[in-house]
């Protein structure tokens, strides 16, 4: 389905992202149950380190060429990491406040 959306929608979004969004929506709206995907998810998490080997080998092979890009890359990673932490913190606080308001409005 992700590949189909990627072919139909003219945005530069990878098909795998569409697939993850479809999976999320199916789980959120109870089209799929967690037990339908639990075994596969567990397997993929177990083999995840193996998936990084080709990328690591490529980095080792092109290490000399990366030296010129080291400072901009490190700066970008640091800035994006801080931004992700800020946005995640604000999103978490928003959800916590919303849950508190929801629970305060219901009688015990």
Q: What is the pLDDT along the chain (108 residues), one digit of tens a residue?
A: 999 999 999 889 999 999 999 999 999 999 999 999 999 999 999 999 999 899 888 888 887 777 788 889 899 999 999 999 999 999 999 999 999 988 887 665
Let me know whether 33 and 75 are in one domain. Answer: no
Domain range holding 44? 1-51
CB count, 10 Å around CB of 35? 7
Number of independent structural domains in the chain: 2
Q: Is residue 6 part of a domain?
A: yes
Could you tell me the pTM of the whole model? 0.51
Q: Is residue 35 part of a domain?
A: yes
Q: Is residue 9 part of a domain?
A: yes
Q: Is residue 61 part of a domain?
A: no
Retrieve residue 48's tokens: 């995840």
CB count, 10 Å around CB of 18? 20
- Cα torsion 76, 82, 85, 90: sign: negative
The Cα angle at residue 40 between residues 39 and 45, in degrees rounded to 5:
100
Q: Is residue 101 part of a domain?
A: yes
């Amino acid at each position: 389905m992700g590949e189909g959306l990627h072919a139909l929608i003219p945005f530069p979004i990878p098909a795998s992202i569409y697939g993850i969004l479809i999976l999320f929506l199916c789980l959120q709206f109870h089209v799929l149950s967690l037990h339908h995907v639990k075994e596969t998810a567990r397997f993929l998490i177990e083999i995840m380190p193996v998936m990084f080997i080709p990328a690591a080998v490529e980095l080792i092979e092109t290490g000399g060429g990366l030296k010129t890009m080291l400072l901009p890359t490190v700066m970008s990673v640091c800035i994006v990491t801080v931004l992700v932490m800020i946005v995640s913190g604000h999103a978490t606080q928003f959800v916590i406040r919303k849950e508190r308001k929801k629970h305060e409005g219901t009688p015990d």
